[in-house]
Amino acid sequence: MEITHTKTQMGTSRSPVGISPIDPLQWVKKYADYLYTYAITRINDEEQARDLVQETFLAALEKIKTFEGRSSESTWLTAILKNKIVDIYRKKSSGLLKKSDVSDAEQEQKDFFDPDDGHWNEDFRPKEIGVEEDLLVNDEFSIILQKCMEKLPVLWSAVFAMKHMDDDATENICEVLKITPANFWVIIHRAKLNLRACLQKNWI
Amino acid sequence: MNSIKGIIYNCRHATFLIEKKQIKKLTFTENIKLRIHLTGCSVCRIFQKQSILINRMAKRLIGDSENKDRKLDEQFKRHLQDKIENELGKNL
- Of A7-11, A18-22, A30-34, A127-131, the poorest mean pLDDT is in A7-11
> Domain range holding B26?
3-91
Q: Tell me: pLDDT of A36 over 70.
A: yes
Listed by number, the residues of chain B in 23-52 with a beta carbon closer than 8 Å to a beta carbon of chain A are 23-24, 43-44, 46-47, 49-52
Q: Do B59 and A165 touch (CB under 8 A)?
A: yes
Distance CA A46, CA A127 (A): 34
Confidence category of residue A10, pLDDT binned at 50, 70, 90: very low
Residue B12 with chain A: CB contacts under 8 Å? 112-113, 118
- Domains: count for chain B: 1
Q: Average pLDDT of B10-39?
A: 95
ipTM of the prediction: 0.82
Q: Average pLDDT of A138-159?
A: 89
Distance CA A45, CA A88 (A): 12
Provide the pLDDT for residue A8: 40
Provide the pLDDT for residue A69: 77
Closest CB to B56: pick one of A24, A58, A136.
A136
Q: Residue A76: which residues within 8 A CB-CB, separation 6 or more?
A: A60, A67
With beta carbons less than 8 A apart as the criterion, state whether A197 and A124 touch. yes
With beta carbons less than 8 A apart as the criterion, state whether B79 and A42 touch. no
Distance CA A163, CA A160 (A): 5
What domains appear along chain A, each with residue ranges and CATH number?
Answer: 7-91 (1.10.1740.10), 96-203 (1.10.10.10)
A164, A185, A193, best to mutate vs chain B, most B CBs in 10 Å: A164
Q: Average pLDDT of B8-17?
A: 89
With beta carbons less than 8 A apart as the criterion, state whether B58 and A165 touch. yes
With beta carbons less than 8 A apart as the criterion, state whether A113 and B12 touch. yes
Among residues A99, A96, A118, A98, which one has the least CA distance to residue A109?
A118
